[in-house]
Amino acid sequence: MKEIRYVVFSFLLIFIGRHNFASAQKPSLKFKMDSITIGHGIETSLSFRHASDQEVFFPDKQFDFHPFELLDMEYFTTDTKDSISLDSVKYILKSFDITKVQKLKLPVWVLSGGDSIRLFSNTDSVILKELIPDSLLTQGRLKKMESMIPMKKEINYPLIIKWLIGFLLIFSLVYFVFGNTIISQLKLIGFNRRQKNFNVRFKKLMRGEFSTENLTNAVVLWKNQMEFLDSKPYTSMSSSEIMDLSDNENIGNALKELDQAVYGGMSDLNLPLALQILYAGANDIFRKKRRTLYKRLKNR
């Protein structure tokens, strides 16, 4: 029977001790300002005086500060005098709640005898600062603002990088599959275009006056094109060397007549025919080379 009385008495002592502890101390909560603007931060302090041998815990980032949201927090160093400690923390809170009066109270946990006691602070409140007063809304005194506010254009670098990466991947895939075909086609297009330019320029010289300058330009143009088509150094060869190299006797005779007209001053020669022979010879070589390119393209 004595043991039962002892247990009951112990529970009563613990209950009375907790009650006295809770009623003797209370955390202090205070907003730094009496009003708040929606979405803007407000500084809030929470402090608690307690025995220096007690360990206390304040709400942290995991705590729900409804109707507020926690932006930042800062703990201050414990200040102890005469076995009484003062702990405090500063919170930066914001709210998107449209309630005109917004209230908050926060707990502090005290570790005592292997157990924790939760003590709530006082309730403090702030008033929501109205950007548009209700009186203006009810009286219809709002004015429409039609002026445009210029916005700074920003470059979307992540999107540009994504597009570049996508383009490079597609380009690499196309080149891997069709690279050789595309290169061959481009070479063929360039080959045909160069011959077309030669034909236009050479025909223009054929229709012009048979002056020394025009005849010299015609021979130089023909040698450059033949060197491109036949891959032989025509531009550094004399007419006699070209005659020995070529299987076409008519080309040799045509070059001989053009040399006589340019260097010998003879004017009774059949110069139109000589130029026509060179023109036809260049186009014959062109057609042979083009057939070779076509065959290479088909074999790839």
Residue 296, pLDDT above cutoff 80: no
Q: What is the pLDDT of residues 248-266, one digit of tens each?
A: 888 888 988 888 888 887 7
Least confident among 78-82, 96-100, 134-138, 176-180: 134-138
Count: domains in the chain: 2
The arithmetic mean of pLDDT across residues 211-224, rounded, is: 91
Domain identity same for 272 and 187: yes
Give this prediction's pTM: 0.43
Residue 17, pLDDT above cutoff 50: no
| 250 in any annotated domain | yes
Q: 148 in helix, strand or coil?
A: coil
| The pLDDT value given to residue 176 | 80
The arithmetic mean of pLDDT across residues 235-240, rounded, is: 86
More confident residue, 22 or 87: 87
Give the ranges where the chain is alpha helix by DSSP (H). 2-24, 134-139, 157-207, 212-230, 239-245, 249-263, 271-299
| The pLDDT value given to residue 8 | 42
> For the purposes of burial, counting CB atoms within 10 Å of the CB of 250, is it exposed (0-12), middle (13-18) or buried (19 or more)?
middle
* 98-105 contacts, C-beta under 8 A, 24 or more apart: 98/38, 98/128, 99/67, 99/128, 100/127, 100/128, 101/125, 101/126, 101/127, 101/128, 102/36, 102/67, 102/68, 102/126, 102/127, 102/128, 104/29, 104/31, 104/44, 104/65, 104/67, 104/68, 105/29
Distance CA 219, CA 278 (A): 9
Domain that holds residue 37: 25-131
Q: What is the pLDDT of residues 49-81, one digit of tens each?
A: 988 888 899 999 999 999 999 999 999 999 999
Domain identity same for 30 and 116: yes
Domain identity same for 188 and 295: yes
Domain identity same for 198 and 292: yes
Domain identity same for 93 and 198: no
DSSP string, 110-135: EEETTEEEEEE---EEEEEPPSS-HH
| 160 in any annotated domain | no
| The pLDDT value given to residue 34 | 92
Q: Which residue in 95, 96, 78 sits closest to 87, CA to CA?
A: 78
| 7 in any annotated domain | no
| The pLDDT value given to residue 25 | 74
Residue 133, pLDDT above cutoff 90: no
Query: Rounded mean pLDDT of the chain?
Result: 83
* CATH assignment at residue 39: 2.60.40.740
